[in-house]
Structure 1
């Protein structure tokens, strides 16, 4: 028992080192913009700050509610004396650790001849390498693995899908009490669908199809009925649970489904793939994904047990179904294709057989690998700290001016969100469109109650203003990449909110 515990603890230690390595590399590239400063990436931090301030907000969310992500971020914000960037970095590491935990669940319990901890680490290492190939600032690129390091791009849903596959595998293998795994599966499906309906497309549909196929081809149909019922029932409960949050959901996501645009969608994703293949790192990443899918197909064909065959099948069937579905529905967003990055990992843990080698050689390999992981993880910490604490004099200029003014200003979505997170009072910066209508999107609607503002914030991403009343700023404050248009006592009225 002690050896088993030490082995599990070693796995978590290795996962921590891999998480630090991945974050250290990504945070040292231009993709740090997506981790720490991108407008989309800051919703969870803004929401957590509102919760800790005991503000009774009226949030306008997308179809995703970010409930697990917000709970985790709020927890670390309450516990750790770090600034926003430091908290985002810690959250990135926790996201990677959560993925390792999900992979470890999917690998099954340790049995004679099996090495689930080692193969879970191999799978996480493959994912970390994929993440480290992401170096661009583009949020809509096929650098999908690095999105797991953010708080916004469905990190909790990614983990939930792998957990769901793992729980189904445990039931099919009957390595644990079936009832507990079924309850956990139903709860995972409920919470995941509640917070992000994309779970139904990534987990419920593909896993459900595979379970039906297994039921049709296997003599042990009784094992399949339970997980299928838990998955479907939990998903239905999750959708019902979204009803009380209706006022917070500014966009149900239905507008993203445009089947008539399937040809444009195909062209769009083909262009993203071509862009990914235009760099050596992109070629390496695509090669890794193709190799992982090939391993999954091979292990599906060679599986000797029901749980292993199911897990391996998920690894290739989920990416194929998601890509086909994304095109058929006419979508235009790379983040919907994240199963391409994480699902193939399940092929590595589907049959985690131990590699036979002399005991002394095996001990040397384990010790050497552990030492390398430890050293790489430790060396990554200064890189992470440097990236998270990198001075931003332009942002500091804006926040100092806004804090000192004691007044309320406005800015457009991509411009205002970063300063809004870092000022003393987030409500002092209101989110608007170029016509000064309130832009109620991923923000607290109560901010718009102010009615008028006295200065505008702009940068290179700002659409030229079309103000509702003629106005000339009394002063223009230069803050590097930002400009503050100060209208003094002349209030600019806000228009009706839109989302």
Structure 2
């Protein structure tokens, strides 16, 4: 125990190396498109840039407000003197490191016969293994672990769920009343549900079910019920706290629940599973998850303490309840199933007991792991740097032309967002629909103060325009995958914004 801080530092350094390796591996595949160029994935960088450059706060968000994600990205953007793509990749590594911290919290205190640091490193390494098996650019697939690396797909909610389980575990393992920890649980639930109501589905309902079952069988029923009430109370406070932000929220989320469509939802997720299992890497990921679920059930049945049982039960009950709930509500978004990949890894830290090896074997294994992590991190830093600085001639063609023209133009959601992020003045590109009405979705509404545009931007994702050009002369500018239709000096009026 005297050298416990050395183990903790070693654990964090190991996790940092894993984070660098995972980020480098993922961004060097087609999945890098999702991290750096996907229209949805760019909302946090766009929002942070808008706020920091004084372009206003009148943003149209989705159901999610991205408050913790935006705070982290703003901090990194202000502290690091690097480009926006590089900040996004640093953010990806920090997200993985934050997951390690949350897992380490769940693993509990060091003690004789326990190795929580080692098992936490193993757990985040297993999560990293799942992430590197994901190599497609699709956001609509069961490649869920790598979504943690984005600034958009609920990284803060993932961390909040794991931390909530950790708080519950520590309250179960420690005798007596721990009012401070109960307040911390409520605070995490409040902030998480304020930013993203999905916390209610990922944590409050399934963890509440775990606590409810525990209250039925445990002797310390009052403790379990107290945890449940504080969790529910914090979530309720967070949801009520969304009311002052209602002007930002374009979609309350209620429309996503369509129970009558549960057969279609079951077929949708079944098709995604079939697609995921169509590749060897998909089978590797599936085998790992199934093994973790089996381990979680086994440790639930053989748990030696309340805390161990709660973590082990959460590791398999969260995925099961989330999948059942997603189908029952008739949803059709793969990202809602993220607990399937992050919850099972908690089985590894439910009972982080020391493995019995000779000192020589432990030293050899530790040295080998250190070398592998050091070499792996060293090899993947250049990969991330290359991805962050890779030239994009087509994008540069668009941004240079717009910057030099001084004109204001328009483009549709999937087309406009990447160039808009990289323009010297993002307000020169207005996000519209195919009929040239303002499209108020994940964008600054101040953009719609502009009433007309003098060019249109299009690519292969652009839906056919339904606008009347009359006898306008159009100068077509070819920018590779982009095409600019220059109408100047003529202009087209913009329609009324909608979401």
Alignment TM class, shorter chain as reference: over 0.9
Counterparts of residues 72-83 of structure 1 (less than 5 Å): 72-83=72-83
Distance 1:94 1:145 in 2: 15
* 2:92 matched residue in structure 1: 92
The change in CA–CA distance for 1:455 and 1:2 in structure 2 (over 3 A counts) is farther
Tell me the SS of whatever aligns to 1:65: coil
In 2, are the aligned partners of 1:51 and 1:74 still within 8 Å (CA)?
Answer: no
Per the TM alignment, residue 156 of structure 1 is displaced from its structure 2 partner at its CA by 0.4
The change in CA–CA distance for 1:177 and 1:400 in structure 2 (over 3 A counts) is farther
When the two structures are superposed, what TM-score results if normalisation uses the length of structure 2?
A: 0.98
The change in CA–CA distance for 1:248 and 1:468 in structure 2 (over 3 A counts) is farther
Distance 2:195 2:468 in 1: 37
Per the TM alignment, residue 472 of structure 1 is displaced from its structure 2 partner at its CA by 3.7
State yes or no: 1:436 paired with 2:436.
yes
* 1:462 matched residue in structure 2: 462
In 2, are the aligned partners of 1:295 and 1:347 still within 8 Å (CA)?
Answer: yes
Tell me the SS of whatever aligns to 1:356: coil
Tell me the SS of whatever aligns to 2:162: helix
Q: Identify which range, 391-400 or 358-367, moves more after superposition.
A: 358-367
* 1:251 matched residue in structure 2: 251
* 1:420 matched residue in structure 2: 420
Per the TM alignment, residue 60 of structure 1 is displaced from its structure 2 partner at its CA by 0.5
* 2:141 matched residue in structure 1: 141
* 1:373 matched residue in structure 2: 373
Distance 2:285 2:130 in 1: 6
Distance 2:447 2:434 in 1: 17
State yes or no: 1:199 paired with 2:199.
yes
* 1:42 matched residue in structure 2: 42
In 2, are the aligned partners of 1:106 and 1:169 still within 8 Å (CA)?
Answer: yes
Distance 2:176 2:132 in 1: 36
In 2, are the aligned partners of 1:300 and 1:313 still within 8 Å (CA)?
Answer: yes
Deviation digits for residues 375-411 of structure 1, max 9, x if unmatched?
1111110111111111100000000000001111000
The change in CA–CA distance for 1:181 and 1:26 in structure 2 (over 3 A counts) is same
The change in CA–CA distance for 1:411 and 1:81 in structure 2 (over 3 A counts) is same
Per the TM alignment, residue 17 of structure 1 is displaced from its structure 2 partner at its CA by 0.8
The change in CA–CA distance for 1:473 and 1:246 in structure 2 (over 3 A counts) is farther
Tell me the SS of whatever aligns to 1:310: helix
Per the TM alignment, residue 374 of structure 1 is displaced from its structure 2 partner at its CA by 1.4
Distance 1:108 1:210 in 2: 19
Distance 2:350 2:468 in 1: 61
Deviation digits for residues 43-62 of structure 1, max 9, x if unmatched?
00000101111232210000
Distance 2:251 2:268 in 1: 23
Instruction: Report the count of equivalent residues.
Output: 499
Q: Identify which range, 52-61 or 302-311, moves more after superposition.
A: 52-61
* 2:451 matched residue in structure 1: 451
In 2, are the aligned partners of 1:473 and 1:485 still within 8 Å (CA)?
Answer: no
Distance 1:463 1:141 in 2: 23
State yes or no: 1:391 paired with 2:388.
no
Q: Identify which range, 213-222 or 187-196, moves more after superposition.
A: 213-222
Distance 2:148 2:371 in 1: 26
Per the TM alignment, residue 276 of structure 1 is displaced from its structure 2 partner at its CA by 0.2
* 2:266 matched residue in structure 1: 266
Unaligned 5+ segments in structure 1 are none
When the two structures are superposed, what TM-score results if normalisation uses the length of structure 1?
A: 0.98
Per the TM alignment, residue 360 of structure 1 is displaced from its structure 2 partner at its CA by 2.2
Per the TM alignment, residue 253 of structure 1 is displaced from its structure 2 partner at its CA by 1.1
* 1:331 matched residue in structure 2: 331
In 1, are the aligned partners of 2:472 and 2:490 still within 8 Å (CA)?
Answer: no
Distance 1:373 1:82 in 2: 25
Distance 1:303 1:317 in 2: 15
* 1:128 matched residue in structure 2: 128
Unaligned 5+ segments in structure 2 are none
Tell me the SS of whatever aligns to 2:108: coil
Distance 1:181 1:473 in 2: 68
In 1, are the aligned partners of 2:189 and 2:231 still within 8 Å (CA)?
Answer: yes
In 1, are the aligned partners of 2:106 and 2:349 still within 8 Å (CA)?
Answer: yes
Distance 1:296 1:115 in 2: 18
Per the TM alignment, residue 225 of structure 1 is displaced from its structure 2 partner at its CA by 2.6
In 1, are the aligned partners of 2:92 and 2:150 still within 8 Å (CA)?
Answer: yes
